[in-house]
Chains A and B, each alone.
Chain A
Amino acid sequence: MRRYIVRRLLQAVVSLFVLSVVVFLLLRLVPDTDPAIVRCGLTCTDASIERIREELGLNDSYLVQYGTWMRNLVTGSLGTDWQGGSVSDELQRRLPPTVELLIFTMLVTILIGVPFGIISAGYRNSAADYVARFTAVLGLAVPNFWLAALVLLIPLQLWDYSPTVTTTVGFTDDPWDNLRQIVPPAFVLGAVSAAGVMRLTRSSMLEVLGQDYIRTARSKGLREQVVISRHALKNSLIPVVTILGLQLAGLFGGAIVIEQIFNIEGVGRYFLSALLRNDYQVVQSLTLYVGVVVVLLNLFVDVIYAWLDPRIRYS
């Protein structure tokens, strides 16, 4: 088991290295993406462009630029963005709301998806099952920015109410205001992924319920609820857990949209604006940052999976 983990860790490091190189090169090799020109702005002259290129280190060889980036990372600095601001500082400001958003989204996903999936499986083909499945798929089918707009606008039209959309309130500053601000968007994001989780839980539970050992448990006279909770639940949740890792990567994309609509100053919008203005440093650092999170998360999930199913370990 330990060897498996170590092996996977090493592979993760290699993955991240490859990711960093790919992003690094792609940004620079694609035509028409010189950040110096974008930053130079309105009063640009050739001399200014040269000056900015020097400042951003763009005239150094790729190897040197990559080396500088890596060296910065090791010393804990994520570099400077196009205006000379510190990326780490910006991230420090922007990570908390995004992380909070994602945590609440996962909470919503799990708290809604799993129970409904279980109910749907347990009372299969009943009216409750159909309603749950239909609602789940409906949640999947509506564009998330549309749902977000409704969530924002309906209370406004009815009660003139809206959560704070002017600034991003920190949890430590004003917990109630912060929750008011984060929970509705988390609900929107979570509703979409909850649907997927619900269906997966349902189908997974259905398969497990069809297994021999469940039939045995039932024939022993155990109540259905005990059958489900004690025997079926754990096994049926395995695939669900593996999916959650993939979901998280997809949620980043959703976060960009949601942050824009609710005016939350998070990592998603930061990344998008950096992309649009060819801010190399921010894009590559953020990609690596997110990459680390995603890779580690998948590693964690795989380890759990391997622990539960030894056959996987040795494949």
Chain B
Amino acid sequence: MRNDNYWQKFQRQRISRRRLLAAGGVGAAGLALVAACGGDDEPTADGTPEGTPGASGAPVRGGKWAFAITVDWGTIDPVTSVATGPQIFPRIYNTLVEQSRVNPEFLYADLAEAAPEQPDAQTFIYTIRQGVKIAPNALTIPERDLDANDAKVWLDRVQADETAVPRAMTNQYLDTYEASADGRTFTINLKSPYSYFLLRLGAALGGTIPPREFFEQNISLKDQGVGAGPFMIRPGTYQETGGIVLDRNPNYYRKDEATGEQLPYIDALEAFRISDRQARRTAFQSKQIHEYGAENAAEAAQLEQDIPGLQVFEEPSNQHISFTMHPEKAPWTDERIRRAAMLALDRQQFVDLIVGTENGKIDGLVHWQLGPFALPEDELATLQPYDPAGARELIRAVTGEDTITIKVMYPITDFQFHDQHLPIWRQQMEAAGFVLDVEPLDLTAWLTRYTQLQYDSSLSANRAYETAEIPLDFHAAHGPQGDDLYAVGLGKIDAEVEAAITASKQAGSSEEHIQRVLDAQRLIYQKGPAFLPIMSWTTFDLRHGFVKNYPPGIGESDWYVNDWWLEGQPS
């Protein structure tokens, strides 16, 4: 046998799962199998489900699932939306193949029949599934089957629109793509190997494909849309600063494997805009919404006491607060000052005070939940020690004085503990000799300046890092999207760092991939990082007891899956 490349080995591991997914239906039993193998354990050899929460008895048809969103939609154009839209795009549209960020073993083949064939590391051949039929609609989109041409036109649009989300990836890696004449095969060629390609192409953020008529006939997707997903938008319910209602798509192709029933089981989804946490919790407790993200373990425990039958799902959050220094602005141009800021950080104190030692851990440049891609704790202790005295020495060496004044901006938001990070961080920095000239901004203003690099240094609000690529890319010259947004990386001023980061994305095998990611981190530590993640924690997703068979352990991929049902839901 020749040397398998990374992809071939990866694919082989997935074959046993693929069989389930490719057969055209992921019924309750099948999904339970996949879900049971989630997390960072090795997949079990046999497929026995391990008591998946919720899965019990026969599915019940009907009901409306209610959930809360916390920010405005902005737009519900799946090609350009970066805000809340991705929560509903998998429910309205389709992606080729989706891969779970939290559990790479989980693949969801949607518009494609199965994971793509890969004759080599840069070529992906998708076989398009038949029967993926568009929902009935009043937007003059015909109720036909989607085919490879829809994917092609979609990528055309991505290439043409500078605000398209997938551009971040396609700009750097996409070479050519074509749809076969019969519409059953879609082929993509990359310029170079890219370890995260499958994941990013299929992501809810930017990876869902609307029918090509929208692009060919220039029909706006800003506040309307229709696709071949499990649900369709109920006309008149979308409000840009409010919610939306989705009804079951009567043309949806998936069926319950066991019973032959058309999926989804539930009749409708409704989203409500509730930005105040207390109001959200009230809505959850009074069963006006069926899902709630608790702030911490204590809140989850309290709600468990108050609500009988509550289901609590602990999942890694992949979000963390970070401190960013603009390496092209004084005093951050000096690597010693950057290092001083790093030495000032007592990350363990953040963990202890905010989420508690059992719910979080300190982060290196790549956060701990990414397993082998994160540096081990003992190595981190030497690379990023807590040493305020050392920080003071560095400051003295650079400025000749005991303190240095720095300008910091931060967003005023109560999202994901940010307001708690601030006082702790301030005290640590001040103890290390930094005098803070603080500029609080409201979230929108902060985000704009953050993306456009108009700051000296900043505490950032929560960021979601699904793979090792993005935290490393924050050190890259052109930023995590390759378009210079957020780009305050060392890669701008140091070609060696840039080369290491690029290399980490083009590995041939998984071992090489991991090694390159680790090496890139070590190199950045040597040079004095400009982007410092602080800690990551576990989230607590709460669902009422009457929500059955909701898949845990696959992260946001659960937006694609629609095999769950509501049983005994109060009216």
- A160's partner among B163, B286, B448 (CB-CB below 8 A) is B286
How far is A276 from B162 in the complex, measured between Cα atoms in Å? 27
Contact indicator A156/B282 (Cβ below 8 Å)? yes
Question: Does B82 have its Cβ within 8 Å of any Cβ on chain A?
Answer: yes
Contact indicator A44/B282 (Cβ below 8 Å)? no
Chain B nearest CB: distance from A283 CB in Å?
A: 14
Interface size on B, residues (CB 8 A): 34
Contact indicator A166/B288 (Cβ below 8 Å)? yes
Give the residue name and chain of the B residue nearest to A166 (CB).
Answer: B272
Chain B nearest CB: distance from A273 CB in Å?
A: 8
- For A263, the chain B residues whose CB sits under 8 A away are 273-276, 279, 283
Give the residue name and chain of the B residue nearest to A265 (CB).
Answer: B242
Evaluate whether A165 and B448 lie within 8 angstroms (CB atoms) in the complex, with A43-B485, A83-B240, A276-B442 already known.
no
Contact indicator A261/B240 (Cβ below 8 Å)? no
Contact indicator B448/A262 (Cβ below 8 Å)? no
Evaluate whether A38 and B445 lie within 8 angstroms (CB atoms) in the complex, with A153-B282, A164-B288, A261-B276 already known.
yes
Chain A nearest CB: distance from B144 CB in Å?
A: 32
Contact indicator A44/B442 (Cβ below 8 Å)? no
> What 1/0 flags go to B148-186 for Cβ under 8 Å of A?
000000000000001100000000000000000000000
Contact indicator B274/A38 (Cβ below 8 Å)? no
- A40's partner among B242, B272, B282, B448 (CB-CB below 8 A) is B448
Give the residue name and chain of the A residue nearest to B445 (CB).
Answer: A38
Evaluate whether A265 and B241 lie within 8 angstroms (CB atoms) in the complex, with A149-B278, A166-B272, A276-B442 already known.
yes
Give the residue name and chain of the A residue nearest to B282 (CB).
Answer: A162
Question: Does A194 have its Cβ within 8 Å of any Cβ on chain B?
Answer: no
Question: Does B451 have its Cβ within 8 Å of any Cβ on chain A?
Answer: yes
Question: Does B337 have its Cβ within 8 Å of any Cβ on chain A?
Answer: no
Question: Does B20 have its Cβ within 8 Å of any Cβ on chain A?
Answer: no
Question: Does B452 have its Cβ within 8 Å of any Cβ on chain A?
Answer: yes
- For B442, the chain A residues whose CB sits under 8 A away are 276-277
- B residues 224-267 in Cβ contact with A at 8 Å: 240-243
How far is A38 from B74 in the complex, measured between Cα atoms in Å? 13
Question: Does B198 have its Cβ within 8 Å of any Cβ on chain A?
Answer: no
> What 1/0 flags go to A154-177 for Cβ under 8 Å of B?
001100111011110000000000
- For B447, the chain A residues whose CB sits under 8 A away are 41-42
How far is A45 from B66 in the complex, measured between Cα atoms in Å? 38
Interface size on A, residues (CB 8 A): 30
- For A166, the chain B residues whose CB sits under 8 A away are 66, 68, 243, 272, 274, 283, 288-289
Give the residue name and chain of the B residue nearest to A260 (CB).
Answer: B276
Question: Does A143 have its Cβ within 8 Å of any Cβ on chain B?
Answer: no
- For B279, the chain A residues whose CB sits under 8 A away are 152, 165, 260-263
- For A85, the chain B residues whose CB sits under 8 A away are 240
Contact indicator B163/A152 (Cβ below 8 Å)? no
- A162's partner among B240, B241, B243, B288 (CB-CB below 8 A) is B288
- For A42, the chain B residues whose CB sits under 8 A away are 82, 447, 451, 485
Question: Does A37 have its Cβ within 8 Å of any Cβ on chain B?
Answer: yes
Give the residue name and chain of the B residue nearest to A45 (CB).
Answer: B162
Contact indicator A167/B242 (Cβ below 8 Å)? yes
| Residue positions of B touching A, CB distance < 8 A | 66, 68, 74, 82, 162-163, 240-243, 272-276, 278-279, 282-283, 285-289, 306, 442, 444-445, 447-448, 451-452, 483, 485
Give the residue name and chain of the A residue nearest to B276 (CB).
Answer: A260
Chain A nearest CB: distance from B415 CB in Å?
A: 15
Contact indicator A165/B274 (Cβ below 8 Å)? yes
- A residues 119-133 in Cβ contact with B at 8 Å: none
List 20 A-B pairs, Cβ < 8 Å: A38-B445, A38-B448, A41-B447, A42-B451, A43-B163, A45-B162, A83-B74, A85-B240, A152-B282, A153-B282, A157-B306, A160-B285, A160-B287, A162-B288, A166-B66, A166-B283, A263-B276, A276-B445, A277-B445, A278-B445
How far is A167 from B271 in the complex, measured between Cα atoms in Å? 10
Give the residue name and chain of the B residue nearest to A37 (CB).
Answer: B448
How far is A221 from B283 in the complex, measured between Cα atoms in Å? 60
- A167's partner among B272, B451, B452 (CB-CB below 8 A) is B272
- For B74, the chain A residues whose CB sits under 8 A away are 41, 83
- For A261, the chain B residues whose CB sits under 8 A away are 276, 278-279
- For B286, the chain A residues whose CB sits under 8 A away are 156, 160-162, 165
Evaluate whether A162 and B448 lie within 8 angstroms (CB atoms) in the complex, with A42-B82, A265-B241 already known.
no
Chain B nearest CB: distance from A56 CB in Å?
A: 15
- For B240, the chain A residues whose CB sits under 8 A away are 83, 85
- For B306, the chain A residues whose CB sits under 8 A away are 157
Chain A nearest CB: distance from B240 CB in Å?
A: 7
Instruction: Name, among A41, A149, A260, A277, the residue most crowded by chain B CB atoms within 10 Å (CB to CB).
Output: A41
- A residues 60-96 in Cβ contact with B at 8 Å: 83, 85
How far is A41 from B165 in the complex, measured between Cα atoms in Å? 13
Chain A nearest CB: distance from B446 CB in Å?
A: 10
Chain B nearest CB: distance from A119 CB in Å?
A: 36
Contact indicator A165/B451 (Cβ below 8 Å)? no
Give the residue name and chain of the B residue nearest to A161 (CB).
Answer: B286
Chain A nearest CB: distance from B503 CB in Å?
A: 27
Task: List 10 tightest A-B contacts by C-beta distance, closest first.
Answer: A166-B272, A162-B286, A263-B279, A276-B442, A43-B163, A165-B283, A165-B279, A162-B282, A166-B288, A277-B444
Instruction: Name, among A38, A164, A166, A265, the residue most crowded by chain B CB atoms within 10 Å (CB to CB).
Output: A166
Contact indicator A44/B289 (Cβ below 8 Å)? no
How far is A45 from B240 in the complex, measured between Cα atoms in Å? 24
- A residues 195-220 in Cβ contact with B at 8 Å: none
- For A153, the chain B residues whose CB sits under 8 A away are 278, 282
How far is A49 from B537 in the complex, measured between Cα atoms in Å? 37
How far is A12 from B273 in the complex, measured between Cα atoms in Å? 39
- For B162, the chain A residues whose CB sits under 8 A away are 43, 45
Chain A nearest CB: distance from B18 CB in Å?
A: 35
Chain A nearest CB: distance from B333 CB in Å?
A: 24
Chain B nearest CB: distance from A97 CB in Å?
A: 13
Contact indicator B444/A38 (Cβ below 8 Å)? yes
- A44's partner among B242, B445, B451 (CB-CB below 8 A) is B451
How far is A164 from B285 in the complex, measured between Cα atoms in Å? 12
Give the residue name and chain of the A residue nearest to B271 (CB).
Answer: A166
- For B278, the chain A residues whose CB sits under 8 A away are 149, 152-153, 261
How far is A226 from B68 in the complex, measured between Cα atoms in Å? 57
How far is A43 from B274 in the complex, measured between Cα atoms in Å? 26
- For A277, the chain B residues whose CB sits under 8 A away are 442, 444-445
- For B445, the chain A residues whose CB sits under 8 A away are 37-38, 276-278
How far is A83 from B75 in the complex, measured between Cα atoms in Å? 10
> What 1/0 flags go to A16-45 for Cβ under 8 Å of B?
000000000000000000000110111111
Give the residue name and chain of the A residue nearest to B451 (CB).
Answer: A42
- For A83, the chain B residues whose CB sits under 8 A away are 74, 240
- For A276, the chain B residues whose CB sits under 8 A away are 442, 444-445
How far is A162 from B482 in the complex, measured between Cα atoms in Å? 47
How far is A158 from B287 in the complex, measured between Cα atoms in Å? 15
Chain B nearest CB: distance from A269 CB in Å?
A: 9
Chain A nearest CB: distance from B34 CB in Å?
A: 32
How far is A8 from B448 in the complex, measured between Cα atoms in Å? 46
How far is A85 from B239 in the complex, measured between Cα atoms in Å? 11
- For A38, the chain B residues whose CB sits under 8 A away are 444-445, 448
Chain A nearest CB: distance from B448 CB in Å?
A: 5
Give the residue name and chain of the A residue nearest to B283 (CB).
Answer: A165
- For B288, the chain A residues whose CB sits under 8 A away are 162, 164-166
- For A149, the chain B residues whose CB sits under 8 A away are 278
Chain A nearest CB: distance from B260 CB in Å?
A: 35
Instruction: Name, among A153, A156, A262, the residue most crowded by chain B CB atoms within 10 Å (CB to CB).
Output: A156
